[in-house]
Amino acid sequence: MVQEKAMPSEETLDPEDWESMRALGHRMVDDMLDDMKTIRERPVWQPTPDQVKAHFKRPVPLDPQPLEEIYEEFLENVLPYRRGNIHPRFWAWVVGTGTPLGVLAELLAASVNSANSRVEKQVIDWFKEVLGFPASASGLLTSGCSAANLIGLAVARNTKAGFDVRREGIQATPHKMVLYASQEIHMSIQKAVELLGLGSDALRLVPVNDDFQVDLEALKATIAQDRQDGHLPFCVVGAAGTTNTGAIDDLSALADVCLQENLWFHVDGAFGAWAALTPGARNQVAGMERADSLAFDLHKWMYMPKEIGCVLVRREEEHRKAFSLTPAYLARGEGGRGMTGGGLRNYGFQLSRGFRALKAWMSLKEHGIRKYGRLIQQNIDQARYLAELIDAAPELELAAPVTLNVVCFRYLRPGLGDAALNALNKEILVELQEQGIVVPSGTTIRGKYVLRVGHTNHRSRREDFDILVCEVIRIGKALSLS
């Protein structure tokens, strides 16, 4: 029967004019592909002017604004003031570059607008295969390696506690639970330890050797001391690629220690795990495949647009035991029929999850895993090339061995002590970044402030490193004279 009564007017967020939305969408795709294609011609980075900062202090919009105008605001106030990591001469921290298909996959993923566990499980199966994990292992895509480390360490804590941590909480521990990593370990490990209620004191930071790898004798001595003091050692975190220098711990030796000591072996392989794909550096991460849990990113090496990381856990039941919870509103229909959430919620703390797997699935198909291996090897070779340029320049000095894709160096000026050199190199970094020609970052190694190239950029060419070396020397000279 037809309703006679006047209905209140009903609204939707879909456009009234689909054609102008379509036209804008086409323009965005064209603009963004052009932007990536011609990125080399623009400055790597530029500081944000005050009027742009002020733009983001405006009050909440109460009424609609024309689409074109919103997009113009993005083009004017957002795009030019990005971090710069898609540029071929960006090597600060460890930040990936993304790809055009990655961008388009994100568009499709947002259109589907929910995770697809079939695609995700396949991608995780591929990662297990190429990183040497057994097919029976479990895994989850995450926002990044920080989340992956948190999940891995949560499983470690719950598995090794000896009591029901989920029910009783960490307060119930009869012995202080302690874990080990080198002094060079990433800060996300400390954050995870804090979030897991263990307290940052529980994270024993073990000294490193001259190659910035964890000192095995010091590690064993620390474990022994903790046992003597009545604590419960439960985990060792190995680094496959440290942020400061790209150092890779002796992972086989760490796996042996964990076996002997009955400890969980977690590996933070944020970028370095992918050395496993290369003929030249594969042996450096040997032992990683023996980890109980492995955390890594796909938005650093593997070059996918942010955010995407992953955690693998060797024994699926331990992974599930740490996170599974099925309230009535998530129970499946009779006989497992009907719609399901896919079950991946049982491997992490997020319930609603985006379709990150799609960009990984499409990218791996687009290029094939062999090409990723070649590109990662190319980055390692380029890092060595840069190290050679630095060795050959009397004005420059390498600050740490170059084992993977991280190069730390500083500008020298005869007669200056470390304090003056630190100040000079800090100033060089600021000039490099503000002039927008090349963007490394900085760090402190053994008291020396150094410029740092963390190279996970598939757009860089050798000539870009020639430019870096020339610019550092040019600016170093100019600053020293002033």
Which residues of the shown chain bind ligand PLP in the complex (CB under 6 A)? Answer: 94, 144-146, 186, 188, 241, 243, 268, 270-271, 297, 309
For tokens 């004798």, name the residue: 217
Instruction: Rank residues 433 and 441 by Cβ distance to ligand PLP and give the closer one.
Output: 441
CB 409 within 8 A of CB 390: yes
Instruction: Rank residues 120 and 268 by Cβ distance to ligand PLP and give the closer one.
Output: 268
Angle formed at CA 209 by CA 205 and CA 210, multiple of 5 degrees: 135
Beta pairing, strands 293-297 & 264-268: parallel
Q: What is the dihedral of CA 205, 210, 211, 213, to 10 degrees?
A: -20
Beta carbon of residue 196, minimum distance to ligand PLP (angstroms, whole number): 16
- Which amino acid is located at 303 in the chain? Y
Tell me if residue 158 falls in helix, strand or coil: helix
Instruction: Rank residues 190 and 209 by Cβ distance to ligand PLP and give the closer one.
Output: 190
Instruction: Rank residues 142 and 173 by Cβ distance to ligand PLP and give the closer one.
Output: 142
Beta carbon of residue 241, minimum distance to ligand PLP (angstroms, whole number): 6
Instruction: Rank residues 145 and 214 by Cβ distance to ligand PLP and give the closer one.
Output: 145
How many CB atoms are located within 10 Å of the residue 354 CB?
18
Beta carbon of residue 125, minimum distance to ligand PLP (angstroms, whole number): 22
186 to each of 5, 241, 330, 362, 363, how far by Cα in Å?
Answer: 65, 10, 36, 30, 27
Instruction: Rank residues 270 and 364 by Cβ distance to ligand PLP and give the closer one.
Output: 270
Closest by CA to 70, choosing from 110, 26, 24, is 24
Residue 307: is the preceding peptide bond cis (ω within 30°)?
yes
Beta carbon of residue 115, minimum distance to ligand PLP (angstroms, whole number): 18
CB 332 within 8 A of CB 338: yes
Q: Which residue is nearest to ligand PLP (CB)?
A: 144
Instruction: Rank residues 268 and 471 by Cβ distance to ligand PLP and give the closer one.
Output: 268
Beta carbon of residue 101, minimum distance to ligand PLP (angstroms, whole number): 21
CB 304 within 8 A of CB 360: yes
Beta carbon of residue 304, minimum distance to ligand PLP (angstroms, whole number): 11
Beta carbon of residue 268, minimum distance to ligand PLP (angstroms, whole number): 5
Instruction: Rank residues 264 and 411 by Cβ distance to ligand PLP and give the closer one.
Output: 264
Beta carbon of residue 232, minimum distance to ligand PLP (angstroms, whole number): 25
Angle formed at CA 239 by CA 322 and CA 272, multiple of 5 degrees: 105
Beta carbon of residue 407, minimum distance to ligand PLP (angstroms, whole number): 15
Closest by CA to 155, choosing from 352, 291, 357, is 291
For tokens 């870096």, name the residue: 468
Instruction: Rank residues 233 and 269 by Cβ distance to ligand PLP and give the closer one.
Output: 269
Residue 170 tokens, joined? 């960490």
Residue 439 CB-half CA count within 13 A:
26
CB 471 within 8 A of CB 430: no
Rounded to whole angstroms, the Cα distance separating 404 from 407 reads: 8
